Amino acid sequence: MNKNVKLEVRNITKIFGKNPQKVISLLKEGKSKSEIFEKTKQTIGLNGVNFEVYDGEIFVIMGLSGSGKSTLLRCLNRLIEPTAGEILIDGQDITQMSAEELRNTRRTKLGMVFQNFALLPHRTVLENVAYGLEIQGIPKDERYEKAREALETVGLKGYEQSKITQLSGGMKQRVGLARALANDPDILLMDEAFSALDPLIRSDMQDELLSLEDRVQKTIIFVSHDLDEALKLGDRIALMKDGEVVQIGTPEEILTEPADSYVSRFVAGVDRSKILTAESVMKRPEPFVSLSSGPRVAMQLMKERGISSIYVVEGKNRRLMGILMINDALDAMKTGKSLEAVMIPVIPRVPPDMPLNEVIPLIADSQYPLAVVNDAGKLLGIIVRGSVLGALAIAGETEETGGPEAPDLEETVRTGKNEGEAGPPDPESSGGLNGIIDKDSINKGIIDKGPIDKGIIDNVIGSGPAPEVEARSVAPAPEVGARTEAPARPELKGELEVKTW
């Protein structure tokens, strides 16, 4: 996606009341909303909203009812006049436009789709779709031609002469969409466009909007109160609360780096496995060994890192060739075989954009970490079970943030690390364990935040009395069983076991 700014909102404020300027000056003085309401009896609909929308993206404005999202959308085409601020569309400030200029901008650049369809009941489907062209004075034949094309785009060919009352909800909204598309606007404003539809129809319409977006490349600004919808549709999401934007970011950013407790509470119930991708949970694949090196080099690398397996890649592009187990490396050293001969060539690999819910069954069936590989075969990273669980666990953790168990957890992690570093040098007995709790995996978003840490532990060892059992059921790696007898601390054991293969 190119990053041309299509629409820019600067400091938009909307006051509902009789003397908005007074509220503006109070806001500048830094008074709180409730103070201002107390004093002036005026409501602040939007307070200093800023964002940019890039050309060709789907930008979702999300918030609960009353958060100001629909007001914000209506400010963009001045159905509601903003009290202060600027809205630039292709660099032109729409708030400064005359009535004539505004009308032309609305006709050519801004299409709108409404929550309750808002079709004109006295017109046929075709006449509804042609409405925007009709008021521009385009001749009948031409506007009907374009309207037919738009109807075909939304899959309503053959319904041109139907009456609005004969259509189902989903079809009505297709007409609404076609009406907006017929004008060929640059920007589509969609106000809770699918909220009035049945869940199944809604899901279909979302899919169709996405495929439509691929074909027509419009900039879409979509208002929704439904987080799942926002995550599904949005290239980026602006989360609103009380007339202010709390956070703007990609769905992943919203999920993984919530800006404040409001956002994290908001996203707490989300099924992360659908949103997070392989890329977001993978860790750096280091170390890896080049195919041209000998088994001794591979052995040395594994020893340094204290790990039991290593990836084999080829060339500068890090093309993934296979995985080398430490036993096989030892074998090769003794027998003088090449790396290629002893490595395991076929290992599970996944593309970086695979959703986590598809990764999970693969990783459950696999004995090795999953390799994340791009189209060119380059090794981008690896996924171990622990990082998947860690990413998913964020969902369950948020309400208990800062709970009494948090310090324990930090200690656990630190202890774990120490144990690894100070552990017996012999890779045979502890390499597998140490290898996983390396700094990489810790830094790679699994253990870099307090609440997340806790999430992992909760998830891994459970809160039940028998952490060992719990841990094992999560990570039933056969080779690990014997090795994990060694550590004494149950928490640590759980942690290690899961992260081990």
Partner 1 sequence: MVIPRIPIGNTVEFAVDGIETHFGAVLDLVSDQLDFLISALKDALLFLPPELFIVGISLLAYFAGRRNIKLAAGTAFGFFLIENMGLWELSIETLALVLSSAFMALLIGVPVGILCAKNAVIYHIVKPSLDFMQTMPSFVYLIPALIFFGLGNVPGMIATVVFAMPPAIRLTNLGVRQVPKELTEVADAFGSTGWQKLAKVELPVALPTIMAGINQCIMLSLSMVVIAAMIGARGLGYQVLFGIQRIDIGLGFEAGLAIVIIAVVLDRITQHLSPK
- CA atoms in the 13 A half-sphere facing the CB of 200: 0
Comparing CB distances to partner 1, the nearer of 193 and 437 is 193
- CA atoms in the 13 A half-sphere facing the CB of 27: 21
Comparing CB distances to partner 1, the nearer of 51 and 114 is 114
Comparing CB distances to partner 1, the nearer of 134 and 331 is 134
Task: Using alpha carbons, select from 432, 426, 415 the residue that is nearest to residue 369.
Answer: 432
Taking the complex as a whole, the smallest distance from the CB of residue 202 to partner 1 amounts, in Å, to 19
Query: Phi/psi at 403 (nearest 5 deg)?
Result: -65, 170
Query: Phi/psi at 158 (nearest 5 deg)?
Result: 95, -10
321 sits in which H/E element: strand 319-325
- Other CB atoms within a 10 A radius of the CB of residue 142 amount to 11
Taking the complex as a whole, the smallest distance from the CB of residue 57 to partner 1 amounts, in Å, to 21
Taking the complex as a whole, the smallest distance from the CB of residue 311 to partner 1 amounts, in Å, to 56
Comparing CB distances to partner 1, the nearer of 104 and 335 is 104
| Cα distance between residue 298 and residue 294, in whole Å | 7
Comparing CB distances to partner 1, the nearer of 103 and 414 is 103
Taking the complex as a whole, the smallest distance from the CB of residue 81 to partner 1 amounts, in Å, to 12
Instruction: Say which amino acid occupies 350.
Output: V
Comparing CB distances to partner 1, the nearer of 71 and 264 is 71
Taking the complex as a whole, the smallest distance from the CB of residue 180 to partner 1 amounts, in Å, to 8
Taking the complex as a whole, the smallest distance from the CB of residue 252 to partner 1 amounts, in Å, to 32
**Which residues have a Cβ under 8 Å from the Cβ of 478 and sit 6 or more positions away?**
367
Computed on alpha carbons and rounded to an integer, the radius of gyration of the chain in Å comes to: 28
201 sits in which H/E element: helix 199-216
Burial of 28 (0-12, 13-18, 19+ CB in 10 A): exposed
Q: Which residues are at the interface with partner 1 (CB under 8 A)?
A: 74, 77, 79, 102-107, 110-112, 114-116, 118, 120-123, 131-132, 134-136, 179, 183, 189
> What separation, in Å, do the N-terminal and C-terminal C-alpha atoms of the chain show?
38
Comparing CB distances to partner 1, the nearer of 121 and 404 is 121
| Cα distance between residue 410 and residue 374, in whole Å | 35
Q: Which two tokens stand for residue 126?
A: 């075709």
Query: Phi/psi at 321 (nearest 5 deg)?
Result: -105, -40
Comparing CB distances to partner 1, the nearer of 80 and 354 is 80
Report the length, in residues, of the chain: 501
Query: Do the Cβ atoms of 412 and 419 come closer than 8 Å?
Result: no
Taking the complex as a whole, the smallest distance from the CB of residue 137 to partner 1 amounts, in Å, to 10
Q: Is 63 helix (H, G, I), strand (E, B) or coil?
A: strand
Taking the complex as a whole, the smallest distance from the CB of residue 384 to partner 1 amounts, in Å, to 51
Comparing CB distances to partner 1, the nearer of 123 and 378 is 123
Comparing CB distances to partner 1, the nearer of 120 and 466 is 120
Comparing CB distances to partner 1, the nearer of 134 and 253 is 134
Query: Phi/psi at 92 (nearest 5 deg)?
Result: -95, 135
Taking the complex as a whole, the smallest distance from the CB of residue 90 to partner 1 amounts, in Å, to 16
Taking the complex as a whole, the smallest distance from the CB of residue 131 to partner 1 amounts, in Å, to 6
Q: Which two tokens stand for residue 443?
A: 């830094």
Helices 295-305, 326-335: crossing angle, 10 deg rounding: 140
Taking the complex as a whole, the smallest distance from the CB of residue 455 to partner 1 amounts, in Å, to 44
| Cα distance between residue 131 and residue 175, in whole Å | 11
Comparing CB distances to partner 1, the nearer of 113 and 492 is 113
Strand partners, 84: 13
| Cα distance between residue 483 and residue 230, in whole Å | 45
Q: Which two tokens stand for residue 355?
A: 């959703």
Task: Using alpha carbons, select from 257, 280, 467 the residue that is nearest to residue 372.
Answer: 280
Taking the complex as a whole, the smallest distance from the CB of residue 204 to partner 1 amounts, in Å, to 23
